[in-house]
Structure 1
């Protein structure tokens, strides 16, 4: 693919070097188009060395090729990272006073931007109005994230990390094989209160579920993401016009939300880690040592949400469950997965490794997808977005076999 990476004058430009490197390593042809201000942060020799292409900021260079429009015409994708408030305003107004501006006006390729600025600038009504204008025109907005900013400030305005931008941007080139489909995905981990400040929970970050939602939306689906206690920096991965986020806390709340969303869904994926048990009663006040030693918490079993969804599913609906496994022996792991698939009654069971390098709180995952008869219909490892793509491919393969979608 021919990808144009626009770089504007923000300190986050240093991150874009890694983004270009990722695109090159993935086999894409990359042309970097910086603004003059961007070169104050990262110099022209760096961009040329990383991209392996000539870099210029002027519309007057390479005139014989009409470079100021040729770049946009030849692009399969345009990424602007970082996108400053000034550049966003110029894009919204249709200004083209440099090579990046003319490239953006000349392209019909998907355009995605990764805003980066201080919180006050991001929240300013002018910036928000410009963002709304760009969204209406089909520009894809990635972030910003919430975190540490230049000068010790903190808040929304931080550019997403290069790996996130890479995965999101390339998803724009994904096949639209889920177009017109409605899907619901659960993500995160439920929390069962012991008292107002303590809970029974698990280590699930929600990253895999958020990646599943993002991948489905990129492939054309309308998505409901039922998010159980997911942090803002994880949820930003699933930020997409076709993703509706419904936050929940407990297993009971998740069950209610999933049943409601599943009623109109073609595919249901239960990626959340749902607590098997909850305290029989939660204390109204914080339990303290002054109350005596807490040597017992009476537990009651939570409903099996995914088994209930599978039992109630329509003939044309596909239900997918997840099972985190720590067993190192692959044969034992697969046998347990087969039993669990049969017990839950789901169409597919995704077995994900839970170890030091994969699964909970990790950027990578390794999965096996168990289908009819206990067969392994797909397996692979990689980033959670890679795994999400593999899982959706398995869902589509099953739907094609059954001719249900």
Structure 2
């Protein structure tokens, strides 16, 4: 994989030299952008020797002391096109500010602006600087733009202070990069997933719905596809901007209501079996309306002088329960989500058992449309209930953990079936 390592101007820059060596050891191609301030801490010669590539120092050329020939003009564009992943280590308070502003005053800023590949930063600074509200605000801005934040760590600092702000150790940074550049090996081939929120029409202009961005479903689908899994997404009412981020080769089925979603899911499962490509995994990630209007009005319902209006509702089909009850030959493995405002684990466990799911992911109501997402996974092993908690600043990271856990449990489930 082609990785750009950008070294910022901080005393911790020496650690990045070892990171470059670790990346090369894993057979990654590495090009290094050395900022002007970074050259006060590490030399062009040492970086060039370790990366085995010319060092990039400004918009117009490679390093002035490099023995390599200069690359062609539009250097920032060629670098941006070459890279599969970019990491800035150390990322100083100033660099974080420049990134948050979208500043293009130097080569690194221009490369970031011209690139669409994943970007990660490894902050390193004095603890007081890290805790400064301005820095934290800039970090929040970068998180909203899906920039990965590696660290910082706690410990003694070059200035003599002790606290949060240390650059991660090279091995720790390498482990973080590995999670991005080395997709997991899947244990199943075909995934069916639902996402978004269903809409139940009252009349031509009104409907009942749930609050859901659909982002978790999109993130799981994308990561599954990245890992080589054949994915079908059945979705309802997802923002077009989110859908634009869905991998183009993922099969899409658009629906509106809960009944339509159930029909679409059952059709996909049936089609998979007929084509001898059964879905081994079903993930019910959509926010499905529990009820729908008992009667649909063909005309817009007019407002009257009455102070109240009664709308009769009837239950919608329970999609995850229907799929779980209709399992054939032990497939598909069924995973669901429980969004709760109280008694999170108790209610999730109840749903797990009543709906015959294999595993459930419980998350609190305050995670709706939020970047920060906390999830607890629950599943049964024999007579015991097993739980695992995980939380990342990005739903994309939670999505990876969800899929990794599902791959592990899917294999265990198959072994148990063979034993039985």
Which residue pairs with 2:294 in the alignment? 280
What aligned pairs does 1:4-403 form with structure 2 within 5 A after superposition?
A: 4=4, 55-59=57-61, 61-62=63-64, 64-66=66-68, 97-100=73-76, 103=79, 110=84, 163-164=144-145, 166=147, 173-178=181-186, 181-237=189-245, 239-263=246-270, 264=272, 265-290=279-304, 295-314=309-328, 315-327=330-342, 332-355=343-366, 359-373=367-381, 375-382=385-392, 383-403=394-414
Measured in 2, the distance between the counterparts of 1:65 and 1:338 equals 64
User: Structure 2 CA distance, aligned partners of 1:338 and 1:290?
Assistant: 44
Q: Compute the displacement of 1:394 (Å).
A: 1.3
- Does the Cα contact within 8 Å between 1:178 and 1:221 map onto a contact in 2? yes
SS in 2 for 1:372: strand
How far residue 103 of structure 1 moved from its aligned partner, in angstroms, is 4.7
Q: Distance in 2 between matches of 1:290 and 1:230?
A: 33
Q: TM-score, normalised by structure 2?
A: 0.60
The structural deviation recorded for 1:178 is: 2.5
Alpha-carbon offset, residue 245 of structure 1: 2.4
For residues 46-65 of structure 1, the C-alpha deviation after alignment (integer angstroms, 9 at most, x for no partner) is: 9999xx99632334535645
**Contact residue 33 and residue 56 of structure 2 kept, 8 A:** no
Is the Cα contact below 8 Å between 1:217 and 1:223 reproduced in 2?
Answer: yes
> Do 1:280 and 1:299's aligned partners in 2 also have CA atoms closer than 8 Å?
yes
Structure 2: how far apart are the matches of 1:64 and 1:141? 28
- What residue number does 1:3 align with? 3
Q: Distance in 2 between matches of 1:234 and 1:65?
A: 46
Larger radius of gyration: 2
Query: Pairwise CA RMSD of aligned residues?
Result: 4.0
Displacement after TM superposition at 1:346 (Å): 0.9
Q: Is the 8 A contact 1:325 1:333 kept in 2?
A: yes
Name the count of aligned residue pairs. 296
For residues 316 and 248 of structure 1, the distance between their equivalents in structure 2, rounded to whole angstroms, comes to 24
Q: CA deviation at 1:110?
A: 3.8
SS in structure 1 at match of 2:219: helix
Whether contact under 8 Å (1:279, 1:300) holds in the other structure is yes
Compute the displacement of 1:400 (Å): 2.1
CA contact (8 A) 1:174 1:218 kept: no
- Which structure 1 residue ranges, 5 or more long, are not aligned? 7-23, 35-43, 70-95, 113-139, 144-159
